[in-house]
Amino acid sequence: MFNLILFGPPGSGKGTQSDKLVDKYGLKHLSTGNLLRQEIADKTPLGIEAKSFMDKGQLVPDEVVIGMVDSYFEQHKEARGFLFDGFPRTVAQAIALDKLLELKKTNIAAVLALEVGEEELVKRLLNRGKTSGRSDDTNEEVIRKRFAVYSNETTPVAEHYKKAKKFKSIRGEGTVGQIFDAICEAIDKKIQQ
């Protein structure tokens, strides 16, 4: 298996690039944000619990998210590899992911982190909020809260993978095509190793 993490703050382009990457590399896209929004749309108990956190820009509790990822693995046993988008977001999630992958006799090949300045991120998210229907995009206060949560709870995840020498930064500003090319170059290097 070949597993990648696409890392980066809210609005950095993880979802946009994931859609293109899964086609090119035949990976399964695992976006915890998308899975949670589906649970909300289906009005499941998990979705109802998650919504109260997401609407405020806070993280959904680790055990909820880890349980959801575990059951996604159960449902996709045939996958050649996963592209993780928006997960792991805490060190506890990263440790849980390492363990789940170990059980599958695999690991993370690389963590590619999209670097984008905060003002550009706010602009992108407010712009998306006009059409996305995402309650966490329409209000600048909630957007700023998501950045604060990212900085406090998610940036330590980068350290976790830097220690394991798996972390690589990629410039996330420019056209979608330019960024895609830079990501593919990093992935192709990894595959050749």
Binding of residue 139 to ligand AP5 (CB under 6 A): no
The reply on whether position 8 binds ligand AP5 by CB under 6 A is yes
Confirm or reject binding of residue 22 to Mg ion (CB under 5 A).
Answer: no
Is 174 strand, coil or helix? Answer: coil
Residue 83 pairs with which residues in a beta bridge?
A: 4, 29
144 as an active site residue: the answer is no
Residue type, 126: L
- Closest approach of Cβ 10 to Mg ion, in Å? 8
Q: Beta partners for 144?
A: none
In the list 15, 47, 61, 81, the residue contacting Mg ion (rule: CB under 5 A) is 15
- Cα separation, 136 vs 122, whole angstroms: 12
**Residues contacting residue 102 through CB under 8 Å, at least 6 positions apart:** none
169 burial (CB, 10 Å; 0-12 / 13-18 / 19+) is middle
Choice from 87, 147, 161, 167 touching ligand AP5 (CB under 6 A): 87
Is residue 19 within 8 Å of residue 183, measured between CB atoms?
A: no
C-beta atoms surrounding 31 within 10 Å: 19
User: Which of the stretches 13-21, 37-45, 135-143, 150-158 binds Mg ion when contact is defined by CB under 5 A?
Assistant: 13-21
Residues 6+ apart with CB under 8 A from 163: none
Question: Is residue 14 a contact point for ligand AP5 (CB under 6 A)?
Answer: yes
> Quick one: which segment of 39-47, 75-83, 87-95, 97-105 binds ligand AP5 (CB under 6 A)?
87-95
By CB under 6 A, residue 113 contacts ligand AP5: no
Catalytic-residue membership of 124: no
Q: Any idea which residues carry the catalytic annotation?
A: 14, 89, 128, 134, 146
* Interface residues toward Mg ion, by CB under 5 A: 14-15
* Interface residues toward ligand AP5, by CB under 6 A: 8, 10-16, 32-33, 36, 53-54, 57-60, 65, 86-87, 89, 93, 124, 128, 136, 146, 175-176, 179
